[in-house]
Amino acid sequence: MSFNRKEQRQKRHMRIRRRIIGSAERPRMSICVTNRHMYVQFVDDSVGHTLAQASSLKDVKANLEVAKALGAAAAEAAKAKGITRVVVDRGGHPFTGRVAAIVASAVENGISISDKVKKSEEESN
């Protein structure tokens, strides 16, 4: 019984989604990466609503520079809705390349994906 790549990614995504659940306090940052475009949604799974979203539909290519810009745009959209802490859903994709660039850019722009306190913040308190 062999699977193609799409089926394997979908199975990985379902395994991830069993553990990752978004809430109103900490929504799920759902990342979808295709060959042409990339999408980010902030989802409250308790009620099934998308709270904020960003996409690369205006851009022609889906490369690393566009991924970094998308992460920044997603962070701004989330902060406009009052979202500062999220849990990341990589959609079954490996956490490298464009997915990692989106998350890193969102973190640089003020989104927290971890409950850990940075050393500089810990020393100032």
- pLDDT at site 114: 77
Q: How many domains does the chain have?
A: 1
**Greatest CA separation for the chain:** 57
Q: For the beta carbon of residue 120, count every other beta carbon within 10 angstroms.
A: 7
Q: Over 70: is that where the pLDDT of 97 sits?
A: yes
Q: Mean pLDDT over residues 82-100, rounded? A: 92
The whole domain housing 86 covers 5-124
CATH code for position 38:
3.30.420.100
d(CA 90, CA 124): 33
Say what the pLDDT of residue 56 is.
Answer: 92
Q: Report the predicted TM-score, pTM, of the whole model to 2 decimal places.
A: 0.84
Residue 111: Cβ within 10 Å count = 23
Checking if the pLDDT of 57 tops 60, the result is yes
